[in-house]
Chain A
Amino acid sequence: MSVIILLISASLLIATGFLLAFIWSVKTNQYEDDYTPAVRILFENDVKQSTEPDTNEKTK
């Protein structure tokens, strides 16, 4: 019986972790644009330009 309680609390804990991750992702505007990042990641990084601007930086 105590095994069940342990299991349940562990699973709830993990699920809560995911819920928090979800809330964080909404908060940081990751749902604002679900198209551009997918394209952006496929661009070749330039070798010539050493200081590539950090495109993943979020706008405040």
Chain B
Amino acid sequence: MTDTVADAPVLVTSALPPTVTARHRRPVLLWVLAGAVTVLLALPVVYVVAQATKSGWSEIVRLVLRSFTLELVWNTARLSVAVTLACAVIGTTTAWFVERTDLPGRRLWAVVVVLPVAIPDFVVGFGWVSVTPSVHGFFGALLVMTLALYPLFYLPVAASFRGADPGQEEVARSLGLGRMATFRRVTLSQARPALLGGCVLVSLALLAEYGAFEILRYQTLTTEIFFESQRSYNIPVASSLSLILVVLSLAVLGGDAAARGRGRVARSARVARAGTVHRLGRWTVPSLLGFVALTVLALGVPIGVIVYWLFNSGTTTLPASTSMVGAALTTAGYAAGAGALATLLALPVALLAVRHPRRSTRVLERSTFIVQAIPGLIIALALVYFSIRGLRVFYQSSPLLILGYSIMFFPLALVAVRTSVAQAPVELEEVARSLGRRPLEVWWRVVLPLVGPGLAAAFSLVFLSTVTELTLTLVLVPTGVQTLATQFWAYTTNLSYGAAAPYAGLMIAIAVVPSYVLGRWFNRLPARTREPA
């Protein structure tokens, strides 16, 4: 995913060699910081390996090769492929309509199509199951996960469409290529890095998904990992299965690296122009209807169910353990903490990878993505294991919970931070230094304003994901503290949907603001490339 967003606006950098000055110095401090972050992110993997080997290698081999495991791998893999393809189609199509056509209300749609990110997966799952119980199994999972994850494609691809060089399309058309052929051979291949990035993010997210699959009764490796650890108390077996997830994630990352290696996108002009706007003409109404249908499916169903619960449920006998405002503030506090910490942790890794691109830094950067394929429960147990042995005072404290979120959602932060770091021209920094500014001042006055919006986007992505997180929260939250997600869980496990609904509504309300920020940020990305680099 790294380059998803990155590659659109960074095309200039990839065509020309990056400025060399900064590379002369050996980035010792950066290596130390980035190395420390990598070690932190490796903790869950270390835990999984240590637990898995407890049961002995022969047991691991037996478990991995039994037919049931293979069936789970098959379930997981085919769903990953199908959802990734479906998300690619929907994400790319919506991005094209929003960025490249005269679709009415484009700016509004640009925000609306991003909003599904803000709805908790278990709410989407519950929504569909309540609408019709026939939504289950493979096709149910395909439907629900596609509607939940397509914005992860939309965001980078839309940015890429905006930033792409329209000259190439014009050349293709003038050479006699048809509209479809131009789209396929030029527009799509320009968006290729963004598409690949979307593939990585969506497929890794699917590997670790639990909440929605539990409701939709679709068995994957992750649902089985939950079962093994929760019903059989068999953490070694759960860890062995998690190892398969790690291997699958390596395959995804390897495939991405291989696909990226071939072909390079360059732009001819240093000053970009806005792309050609296609007139929809008689296709305007059908296109609009398509957008309305997507909105109804992705937003209407879950929000409709929340509203239905609000007005059509009986009373509950379960009193809230905390006020709604209290839970909302706690949740916002945790989410803000996690957003800030993850963004901070991502900075050295992004700086190292962008400013010192070589094999070693690239491997280090990619390795931090593995954590996204590890289920939240396993990350939580790993943190229980290490913190209770190393940092007993932090156990079940807010800082540890925030650290847990930051580890879990680190790849999302890295994506956005890396993009903005890549956009910030090193030259400006160097000019400031040459004018005698001290490093800290350069940071505050030059670098921060340049990468600030990107940091805000990283913050928002992590914030959104944290607001709706449940499994890690239940294990690591300080005893007696309730977040919106835990209170929602407490009510729904009691069938008190009416009481649960406002909490789900609040989660979405809290998440809308960062979604909007995200939408705006990705919208204005190409504007930066228009400034002389």
A and B part of one assembly:
no
